[in-house]
Structure 1
């Protein structure tokens, strides 16, 4: 995170993977900046009965990244045990509103860092050719690993917009 504004080589990773990780790191940096110093009440705040909390969105980022680790590196979906841990965060909605609450910011940051550290380790095991490997993806469409991992941080950027909107409307 020292050179957050550089999309460049990262020691130990191939060039394209380095650039992908650089972009993921910047997305995460801006997410963490937007949630800095939030209280438990602020992390749990709901705009209405249909919205997601900031805490749930942070868990969603970790859950999506974890799911893509399994999808792209292990070629499998989450098992029942993993779904009991990550399911509410993946799906959000009513289950997320009920289950993801009462945690401080450090809890969410620790989960995000735990999953990201695993991503770093997994990316050390592949090279740029792996990014271009195509396979069946959403609704039986072809996608490559590059797109799949782009989607991981694209989803975070999209939901970070929700976080910023929620912060502007906090009533706690």
Structure 2
């Protein structure tokens, strides 16, 4: 993290994967800064009956990243067992509100770190050519793994804006 503002080569990874990881690391750094010091009550705070909590959004990041590991490295959908574990965080909404609460910040950070560590391990096994593997994606549109992994941290950045808003309200 001492080179967080550099999009550059990372030892052990090919050039484009290094750049992708650099961007993912920066997105995660800013997320961690946004949630630093939050209590269980603040992590569970809901703006209204339809909103997601900060805790649910943090677990959503881990679930999305895990789902893309499975989709792109194993070329499969999540199993029933995996959906039991990750489904509420993937789906959010009522399911997330009912099932994701009462955890301290370290719980969410541990899930994020576990999944990210696996991402590092998986990315070390492929090269830049792998990023250009194409598959059908949303609405049967062509996409490559590069885009899919861009979406992982793009989704985090998008929801981080929600986290900042919720944090302001929860601390008010």
TM-score range normalised by the length of the shorter chain: over 0.9
Partners in 2 of 1:170 and 1:28 — Cα distance?
21
Partners in 1 of 2:152 and 2:168 — Cα distance?
25
Partners in 2 of 1:2 and 1:83 — Cα distance?
36
Partners in 2 of 1:108 and 1:119 — Cα distance?
17
Residue 133 of structure 2 is aligned to residue 141 of structure 1: no
Partners in 2 of 1:161 and 1:111 — Cα distance?
20
User: 1:171 deviation in Å?
Assistant: 5.6
Partners in 1 of 2:171 and 2:126 — Cα distance?
46
Residue 7 of structure 2 is aligned to residue 7 of structure 1: yes
Partners in 2 of 1:166 and 1:67 — Cα distance?
25
After the TM superposition, which segments of 4 or more aligned residues of structure 1 sit over 2 Å from their partners? none
Corresponding residue number in structure 2 for 1:92:
92
User: 1:60 deviation in Å?
Assistant: 0.1
- Which SS does the other structure have where 1:122 is aligned? helix
Partners in 1 of 2:50 and 2:142 — Cα distance?
33
Question: What is the CA RMSD across the aligned residues, in angstroms?
Answer: 0.8
Corresponding residue number in structure 1 for 2:107:
107
Aligned length: 172
- Which SS does the other structure have where 2:143 is aligned? strand
Corresponding residue number in structure 2 for 1:17:
17
Gap regions ≥5 residues in structure 2: none
- Which SS does the other structure have where 1:143 is aligned? strand
- Which SS does the other structure have where 2:170 is aligned? coil
Correspondences of 1:4-153 after superposition (within 5 Å): 4-153=4-153
TM-score (norm: length of structure 2): 0.98
Gap regions ≥5 residues in structure 1: none
Partners in 2 of 1:49 and 1:136 — Cα distance?
35
